[in-house]
Amino acid sequence: MHRFTSRIRRPVKRQGAEQYILLTLLSFAASVILTRLFLELTGYPQLGGGTFHIAHVLWGGLLLFAAALMPLFIANRWVYTLGALLAGAGVGLFIDEVGKFITQNNDYFFPLAAPIIYAFFLLTVLLYLRVRRPPSRSGRAELYRAFDAMEEVLEHDLDPQERQELEERLRYVRDHSDHPDLALLAGHLLDFLTVESLSLAEPRPSFINRLENRWQAFQKRWLTRRRTRVFLASGLLGMSFLAMANMLQALPYGPFAGSLPHLIEELYLQGLVQSTFGLNWFLARIALETSVGLILLAASILLIAGKDRLGCGLSYIGLLLSLTTVNLLVFYFDQFSTILIASVQFVFFLATAYYHQTFLQDSAL
């Protein structure tokens, strides 16, 4: 057993792994959203007729198969980017038909399908957050990443910045490796990188770098602390009223009085509350949405009053609760019409993180 396990190499995090996971996430989300939108706009057409029906799960499987095969026979690093995009699109097309897989009558519109897809997406987000943590540094791991970066030398595309980063990795291996042979190898590679005959490419900012530069310019010119606080407070205020909309319908007085029974009747006709169990989940949704609404309302008021730290803290709590818990119930009852609301919540979650990191990180408590 020991001999078998000794042959299994300890995993090393690939350089840029978090970017590949992010591409997979974005491709996955775009695949599901665009598929549902296309089917809704075109009246759910079917490819095939009579005996055959070519479901889009087959196209998803084809993309997943391509994403799995390409890294097996292509050594270039660009294959990981392409594979991430194909894998995300493939799993999106695959899991979009989960309703057919979990029901005996192959019900594509089964209400539980949307929460399952959303929960799977959240699990992938958790994986992304885990992967983007700084990797453990060791001579072995740094040499793995240095070999990965050597592709730029083979393609004659190594620029001065990339060479500087590669030299730093190799120096670390040379100075900190526990294995003399690895330290010696790193030293030889360092000598190779310093030869005058090594051709260097002109530094060219990538598409991501250009986006980052434009964002920094926009941020410096427009996103002052006051403007960001106003944007954040007004958005949280609007989302708080939206979150409490169902609670307002349950009130026995006011402009929404008496509308809750009609809403429950409509959900009953849709097959969403055909039992006490389903009704209890709907009431739980109202309670949770009301709680989130009150938290976001308090966060908005605190931001307006200048209590930024406490306001951001409550904003984090309310938006996280909504994104990770409440939306699972909302997707069940409202299906994919909730995507827009969830996207807005995520934008304001990022805005809260930006405000805290930019304006509160170094300020006094």
Assess whether 237 and 354 both reside in one domain: yes
Task: Find out whether 159 and 200 touch, Cβ atoms under 8 Å.
Answer: yes
Mind giving me the DSSP string for 45-64? Answer: --SS-TT----HHHHHHHHH
Tokens of 20: 């590949």
Please tell me the predicted confidence (pLDDT) of residue 174: 93
Please tell me the predicted confidence (pLDDT) of residue 364: 46
**Structural domain contains residue 204:** no
Please tell me the predicted confidence (pLDDT) of residue 263: 62
**Structural domain contains residue 201:** no
Taking alpha carbons only, the member of 293, 291, 263, 294 closest to residue 279 is 263
**Structural domain contains residue 200:** no
Assess whether 89 and 117 both reside in one domain: yes
Please tell me the predicted confidence (pLDDT) of residue 299: 96
Residues of the chain with pLDDT under 50: 252-257, 364-365
Assess whether 242 and 178 both reside in one domain: no
Locus of tokens 């260097």: 200
> 100 CB contacts (<8 Å, ≥6 apart)?
55, 57, 106, 107, 108
Tokens of 102: 């979990």
Task: Find out whether 46 and 53 touch, Cβ atoms under 8 Å.
Answer: yes
Domain ranges, residue 282 = 209-360
Distances (CA, A) of 20 to 16, 172, 185: 7, 25, 29
Please tell me the predicted confidence (pLDDT) of residue 207: 74
pTM for the model: 0.84
Assess whether 70 and 105 both reside in one domain: yes
Locus of tokens 């989302």: 239
**Structural domain contains residue 187:** yes
d(CA 32, CA 203): 37
Assess whether 7 and 39 both reside in one domain: yes
SS3 for 15?
coil
**Structural domain contains residue 262:** yes
Taking alpha carbons only, the member of 292, 274, 276, 329 closest to residue 114 is 329
Please tell me the predicted confidence (pLDDT) of residue 253: 45
d(CA 24, CA 33): 14
Count of the separate structural domains present in the chain: 3
Could you report the per-residue pLDDT of 289-325, keeping only the tens digit for each?
Answer: 999 999 999 999 999 999 999 999 999 999 999 999 9
Please tell me the predicted confidence (pLDDT) of residue 252: 47
Please tell me the predicted confidence (pLDDT) of residue 269: 55
Assess whether 216 and 350 both reside in one domain: yes
Tokens of 10: 């300890």
Q: What angle is formed at CA 311 by the lines to CA 308 and CA 313, rounded to 5 degrees?
A: 110
**Structural domain contains residue 203:** no
Please tell me the predicted confidence (pLDDT) of residue 74: 93
The DSSP symbol for 5 reads H
Share of the chain above pLDDT 70, in %: 87
Sequence-distant contacts of 280-286: CB under 8 A, at least 24 apart:
281/329, 281/332, 282/329, 282/333, 284/329, 285/246, 285/326, 285/329, 285/330, 285/333, 286/246, 286/247, 286/250
Tell me, what amino acid is at 168? E
